[in-house]
Amino acid sequence: MVITTYLYQRDIDAMTDDSVLLPLLEELSQLTGQQWVAQSYPVKRRFHKPTLHWCLYKSLGATLLGDEYQVINFYRDNTGTSINTYVPKELIVAFLYGLLGRET
């Protein structure tokens, strides 16, 4: 099942500021001709320090409501749901390297 959302430019500008992800996202955007962005989300668990999880978006094009983006869903073992859009940064970096390796 495809998950989509609408994002405005102000939302996109506030998203990716990570020094590891930003160059990968920019390179993939140049290779594919589609905009790729990532958003951080703090995950708070009781008795643990908050950790950052990330969500990856791929541009599908502009509509009257705003720019439509596909939310990339990651498969993960031992989870109670098949919808895993917020994942650790390491999974997104590995996914981006896989796409960059395929595109070159």
44 Cβ contact list (under 8 Å, min separation 6): 50
| 79: Cα within 13 Å, side-chain hemisphere | 12
For residue 12, the model assigns a pLDDT of 81
For residue 62, the model assigns a pLDDT of 76
Q: Is the pLDDT of residue 1 over 70?
A: no
The helix/strand/coil state of 7 is strand
Per the DSSP assignment, residues forming a β-bridge with 35 are none
84: left (phi over 0), alpha (psi -120 to 50) or beta: beta
Per-residue pLDDT tens for 40-93?
A: 888 888 888 888 888 899 998 877 777 888 898 887 777 666 677 888 889 999
Cβ 55 vs Cβ 37: under 8 Å:
no
Q: Is the pLDDT of residue 97 over 90?
A: yes
Domain that holds residue 19: 3-103
For residue 24, the model assigns a pLDDT of 93
Cβ 86 vs Cβ 41: under 8 Å:
yes
How many structural domains compose the chain?
A: 1
For residue 58, the model assigns a pLDDT of 92
For residue 65, the model assigns a pLDDT of 72
